[in-house]
Chains A and B, each alone.
Chain A
């Protein structure tokens, strides 16, 4: 008859647990992260939408592959050469104004179809949006005006750097954007890939969402009962927050804390 107590103690000492060597450091880092609010009412909504999206993809086999590629489901990623759909459900480069657009295109992100580059001043004038340049990242590699919404959003493109590593999909370091939209009205939604998570986050009194994982489609409210859809492009992490009626977004392959640091460095 085996000595059960001794056997249990020996078993405990011999099981191998991943992450043990750096466990305490992970705990301390987690404690220092911005406080994560519990997901209460929003999560069922998100889950419901995920289910709905999956059902749509399953029951409509024709467009499944194309939509799956677009949304990044099932490990399908945006690849160089893939063009974001230009229907009403996808983001498109805004029509250039006669005075506000240069002929140049982004040299570091041609594959994600951001359209012609403009000057920051032109983008501000065209969209009425404030300059979203984070001091932590400095001047962007290129500036673009995109739709939706109809009035346009400013998108800044950053080359890879020490702070924002290169996306293994697009070669871009980070995308920073601002648009006139809301996430607090309950219309903020997204479709999640298998490896994606969304968490509400607070920093400096700002309510934000932190999305980790595969590329996403993002739904947001731009007016009374008017919902638009946009695509997140870098197949990586995204921080979304609203300030002064504007929806800001950072897409970069960085941890939450770095994204918050970058967000804090955008002048209010």
Chain B
């Protein structure tokens, strides 16, 4: 192997050897350690919320292929902006707000070059583990994703926060920067639009 010079803190280890972080640490602890330069702590935050972030990005942008790039860019920005986070206990909502903004930027750029039905319509949805207990079969899932793509981006965003990222109403209020009452009304309105879209012949 080559004897490389000082890489200035550059990460050269393979993914499989990267440090993993106990999931028992609180968000506040992890934020404090990440702010002090502990990359494993920031990695633990990413792992903790990556599933929510990726689904949020996919639901807002419509593109599962772009979701990882969108969320990655958002987490990189979050890492740079970590010193600005005023309440470490809200890091989840704060990170997901950055993801949502990044996804909306992607939509604005993409609308000029790609039809929306080429994104939502191309989702790959896994078959249900228990078909008897599932709410959706594959065709239902396809119709639902296509209907989601017809909504305005703000409607998709509120539904994405609640049902794709799994945020509570209070967390959604924090992420969206609006009162909880507004989250309730916007969610109800977006669900009604989605239902109307699904009931179209």
- B194 located at the interface, meaning its Cβ lies under 8 Å from any Cβ of chain A in the complex: yes
Min distance, Cβ B26 to any Cβ of chain A, angstroms: 18
Q: Please give, as numbers and ranges, the residues of chain A lying within 8 Å of B125 by CB-CB distance.
A: 11, 14-16
- A7 located at the interface, meaning its Cβ lies under 8 Å from any Cβ of chain B in the complex: yes
How extensive is the interface on chain A, given as a class? 35 or more
Q: Please give, as numbers and ranges, the residues of chain A lying within 8 Å of B145 by CB-CB distance.
A: 11, 15
Q: Please give, as numbers and ranges, the residues of chain A lying within 8 Å of B195 by CB-CB distance.
A: 4
- A206 located at the interface, meaning its Cβ lies under 8 Å from any Cβ of chain B in the complex: no
Min distance, Cβ B48 to any Cβ of chain A, angstroms: 9
Q: Which chain A residue lies CB-closest to B165?
A: A12
A31 touches B10 (CB 8 A): no
A29 touches B47 (CB 8 A): no
B10 touches A15 (CB 8 A): no
Contact of B43 among A5, A7, A18, A24 (CB under 8 A): A24
- A6 located at the interface, meaning its Cβ lies under 8 Å from any Cβ of chain B in the complex: yes
Interface of A is mostly: helix
Interface residues on chain B, number (Cβ under 8 Å): 57
Q: Which chain A residue lies CB-closest to B191?
A: A4
Q: Please give, as numbers and ranges, the residues of chain B lying within 8 Å of A136 by CB-CB distance.
A: 2-5
- A135 located at the interface, meaning its Cβ lies under 8 Å from any Cβ of chain B in the complex: yes
Which residues A1-29 have CB closer than 8 A to chain B?
Answer: 2-12, 14-20, 22-29
Roughly how many angstroms separate A31 CA and B39 CA in the complex, as a whole number? Answer: 9
Roughly how many angstroms separate A224 CA and B192 CA in the complex, as a whole number? Answer: 65
- B79 located at the interface, meaning its Cβ lies under 8 Å from any Cβ of chain A in the complex: yes
- B94 located at the interface, meaning its Cβ lies under 8 Å from any Cβ of chain A in the complex: no
Known A-B contacts A8-B144, A11-B144, A16-B125; A261 and B10 likewise in contact (beta carbons under 8 Å): yes
A sample of 22 cross-chain residue pairs with beta-carbon separation below 8 angstroms, ordered by A number, consists of A5-B191, A6-B135, A7-B140, A7-B144, A8-B144, A8-B148, A12-B55, A14-B141, A15-B64, A17-B67, A18-B65, A18-B68, A20-B50, A27-B46, A28-B11, A31-B76, A163-B2, A204-B8, A261-B4, A261-B5, A264-B5, A265-B5
Q: Which residues of B contact A (CB under 8 A)?
A: 1-12, 15, 18, 39, 42-43, 46-47, 50-51, 54-55, 58-59, 64-65, 67-68, 71-72, 75-76, 79, 123-128, 134-136, 140-141, 144-145, 148, 159, 162-164, 166, 191, 194-195, 198
Q: Which residues of A contact B (CB under 8 A)?
A: 2-12, 14-20, 22-34, 135-138, 162-163, 203-204, 257, 260-261, 264-265
